[in-house]
Structure 1
């Protein structure tokens, strides 16, 4: 008797808080890096498969509007190749030079595909993008021994207040050793694609059960220890949204676009692997949300971390039991 086919599809988990303060389903934007097909060829293939209106912003940056899965952009991931997007740039020689340089650099500089905010309960639709990229011959992390291509999530914060951002930051800091191990178990890649972890002094400060600051204090503490975008959970866009003046006082020239979202940066986009999905990485993020939503468990894990006298790898084993329970 023939055995039934085994499904290899991975379901997308839903977070404990599905709706925002307006009662709408929360959204998440997704960013995927790859090399191989040009930005133009990629967006044309996306339009053919998903419909929509194609707009050229410059020779290496394109937008697809009103596709079957929403708006998308595809561009070479380098600011110097898009002078028209920089304030004060004039049309003329500089954009032409950037365009020519972009064609040469396209063999070395990855493309970045960015989705518009997508309702979290429709996140599985974005896996269609991966099928299109594979058909085009797009390459990812496993094809480049000395380069890690990024996968980023930008989930909307469920409640725009200090208590919520503090709980999420605590939860992420406590689970970070496990998250990093699961996202990139190959230790040779840890030096290539990962952002720097949060300083241990900062983690020990914020996971104290009685650490419940107002938003101004939270921002000041975060910037004192993390005046950089180089964190796997980059809070600068969210903190800029809360208080742009306070953030700019410390980082006047940093490229930050304020928005009510977290920015979760992962170093592994395996776009050429037919078995790869964004679901496992998303589901681990949902583990962060679940712990953040359970304040009693969050405080207990924080207290356990402060009493723990071991290495990060050992702590990862401890918190793995927390997320599996």
Structure 2
């Protein structure tokens, strides 16, 4: 079985809380978008390199089970092309139409590769995927100046309580100007790939050292300001997991799969770049976790933000010093 070399130049940092409430190593799922090879060719190459059992879900959706790095799925990133995932659509002409349309659309619609939840201390193994994609000729953000291909992390929340939830959100909104600058320093890409930022009034509410709500109030406040999935840090899957009825009362028809994870959405998957690794983006997420882990420092940074009168780019310079300290 062919092996793909692992990058060795970038270390994956460990978060301050490695285990969940059950004492098990926390997990993180990774999503990578790309164009070029078909979903079928991609999963076949993954099977050749990583082993495992290949399962065809439909002509444009495949699963690889029991591989050397766990379970993976690869599919065209369009729900219309996978009608079998909807109730009552397994039979009839619709799947055939979707299959035919999918072959035509495969030149325009990106593929999405999704890993199963992987223990955080094994995250570096997922970089093997990038070498396989590059060998296939997969293309990413740097190959499409008018399109941004996503890289998403789904890290498990370490504790499912109100303080942990609020601390992570505080840390993220305070660091987000720095995160956005580091992820995409080219401002022209802001219109292409980035999710909408959190509303300024909501950020100021969250940043306040006095804001430590219980979970029901946190959810109500979040939904009032962010009734959408289009945020850098999409909390809807986590909030749905914590209180499905409360979320569905506001968003009855939104596509949300509840799970005890954050959904960190990045607009830059540079899959054809030989030097690209998911490590730098992961390490910036760890910076969020480190600030969230210390309430005294978190409250101090929040208070400083509320007193700050400069622009986001200047605040990014301030919190960069916090991250580096």
After TM superposition, the structure 1 = structure 2 runs for residues 115-194 of structure 1, keeping only pairs within 5 Å, are: 115-194=115-194
Aligned match of 2:49: 49
Aligned match of 1:293: 293
Aligned match of 2:4: none
Aligned match of 1:102: 102
Aligned match of 1:241: 241
Q: How many residues align?
A: 319
Deviation at 1:276, TM superposition (A): 0.2
After the TM superposition, which parts of structure 1 deviate over 3 Å for at least 4 consecutive aligned residues? none
In 1: Cα distance, 2:117 partner to 2:72 partner = 10
In 2: Cα distance, 1:185 partner to 1:92 partner = 48
In 2: Cα distance, 1:117 partner to 1:306 partner = 37
In 2: Cα distance, 1:107 partner to 1:189 partner = 22
In 2: Cα distance, 1:141 partner to 1:87 partner = 34
**Structure 2 runs not aligned, ≥5 long:** 1-6
Aligned match of 1:219: 219
Deviation at 1:90, TM superposition (A): 3.8
Alignment partner of 1:69 is 2:58: no
In 1: Cα distance, 2:141 partner to 2:173 partner = 25
Secondary structure at the aligned position of 2:191 is classed as: coil
Deviation at 1:8, TM superposition (A): 6.3
In 2: Cα distance, 1:208 partner to 1:268 partner = 31
In 2: Cα distance, 1:290 partner to 1:160 partner = 17
Alignment partner of 1:208 is 2:200: no
Deviation string 1:23-82 (CA, Å, 9 cap, x unpaired) is 000000000000000000000000000000000000000000000000000000000000
In 1: Cα distance, 2:26 partner to 2:59 partner = 33
TM-score, length basis structure 2: 0.97
Aligned match of 1:198: 198
Alignment partner of 1:31 is 2:31: yes
In 2: Cα distance, 1:133 partner to 1:321 partner = 36
In 1: Cα distance, 2:105 partner to 2:8 partner = 37
Secondary structure at the aligned position of 1:125 is classed as: helix
Aligned match of 2:3: none
In 2: Cα distance, 1:304 partner to 1:263 partner = 27
Alignment partner of 1:112 is 2:112: yes
TM-score, length basis structure 1: 0.97
In 2: Cα distance, 1:88 partner to 1:216 partner = 35
Deviation string 1:201-251 (CA, Å, 9 cap, x unpaired) is 001011111111110000000000000000000000000000000000000
Secondary structure at the aligned position of 1:282 is classed as: helix
Secondary structure at the aligned position of 1:154 is classed as: strand
Secondary structure at the aligned position of 2:282 is classed as: helix
Deviation at 1:88, TM superposition (A): 2.8
In 2: Cα distance, 1:263 partner to 1:87 partner = 26
Secondary structure at the aligned position of 1:190 is classed as: helix
